[in-house]
Amino acid sequence: MAESAGIDLPRVGAVSVSFTIIFAAVLLFEPLTVILISLFMTVVWRDIKKKTSIFRWMVNGGIAVFDAGLAALIYQKLNHPSFITKGGLTYLDFPSILLPLALAAITYFLVNTALVSVAIGLIEKMHPLNIWVLNERWTIPSKIFLATLGIALAQLYVSSGISSIILVVAPLLIARESFRVYMRLKAAYGDTVRALIASIEAKDSYTKGHSERVADYVELAARKMRFPENEMDLIKYAALLHDLGKIGIPRRILCKPSQLSSDEYESIKKHSEIGAELLKDVDFLRSVLPVVESHHEYYNGMGYGAGIRGESIPMLARVVSVADAFDAMTSLRSYREPMTFPEAAAELLYCSGSQFDKDVVKIFIEMLGEEGKLDVGSISFKIETDEDKWNRFQYEDKKEREEVEERKVEETQEKKDDLETNFEVKEDLLIIDDWELE
């Protein structure tokens, strides 16, 4: 019953309060009896309903035999007979009993979660350590609570009989409800992020799926770069929401089929600032703000945002920048055809060290090769000659000077408009004075 009321975990697997019952059995009975109880608990109603494969039953049974049996053996090998044999705990058992109890609980938890992670890793083709960190590490505090309940259950069983088990039911139900609320809250966070993404893509059909693809690239690259596994949810949220600020950009600019004017480009540049402003009051997304704000910063400082450069740009923002550019280049836009993957990869390499962090580009391209998305040997490298460097310098210098000139023209025009306005006001005042004199 405890296993049947399990709560699904992210990706695969489930968590239940059966830990309490099996750990109580470890303390109460001989190892053989513990193994039989564990095997019986693998018969889960929801698996019967789903007609789970015989292979899965055998795997679950094997894990149950090994983890519970080993925990019971360790407890008894430390010269502590079962609770039934010794008539339960007394104050004379403390503190010597604490070490066997702790070792039995730790053995059961580690062996069980390690074997389950290996089994899931083989099925899902993921590293077992990643599965363990994603699904099990955060449950350690709750497992300590469940083990304590298991000790209480075993003691109650010895002192008051099987009817006393009902006293432990309420704490178990509370523990299960806490798991369920946590998982539902986590799912609600994901639904909120997906709703925000849908609102962005509704404005521009050409970018449909862009955020999801960028998030997939970023997740793969982040795993290769060994970002902490428990940060993967926030990493995906950051990648999904990097363009959220485009909600505040007029559609006529976002969907313009021709080249943007300088004013329109200035409007587009504000989307990183708008995105950060929209998210700053959302508590669970506050840590993604640096990525949203900085994903258009260039490694050489020529990008936009706060004007930061190099290592000052958050690492995850540098990863998102590469993934964002790669997906944009390989996607159809209203103003151009998509590049091939080798062409886009070559462009990333060409811009590494200037627009992009060269280490991130290297890892990103390696990741594409390992995932079978890119034949790395097919990339035609652009070798930047001295002439190329000079041309690029001239281009960037010219662009910067043009921007300065544009700003000067705009400022001059604003001053001229102000003067004309003041002149018109003075003229109106003179007319009024003349009229009054007449």
pLDDT of residue 61: 81
Res 316 pLDDT > 90: yes
Q: pLDDT, tens digit, for every residue of 219-275?
A: 999 989 988 877 888 899 899 999 988 888 888 888 777 777 888 888 888 999 998
* Burial (CB count <10 Å: 0-12, 13-18, 19+), residue 242: buried
C-beta separation of 318 from 299 below 8 A: yes
pLDDT greater at residue 391 or residue 314: 314
Residue 383 CA to residue 374 CA, distance in Å, equals: 20
Q: Which of 157-166, 169-178, 233-242, 277-286 has the lowest mean pLDDT?
A: 169-178
pLDDT in tens, 115-139: 988 888 887 777 788 778 777 777 7
**Mean pLDDT across 160-179:** 74
- Dump pLDDT digits (tens) for 343-378: 999 999 989 989 999 999 999 999 999 988 888 777
**Encoded amino acid at 397, one letter:** D
Q: Over the stretch 175-194, which tens digit does the pLDDT of each residue have?
A: 777 777 777 777 778 788 88
Tokens 């151009």, residue located: 336
User: Above 70 in pLDDT, residue 381?
Assistant: no
**Would you state the pLDDT for residue 3?**
53
Distance CA 363, CA 426 (A): 66
Buried residues in 281-304 as b, exposed as e (16+ CB within 10 A): eeebbeebbbbbbbbbbbbeeebb
**18-45 average pLDDT score:** 84
294 or 173, which is more confident: 294
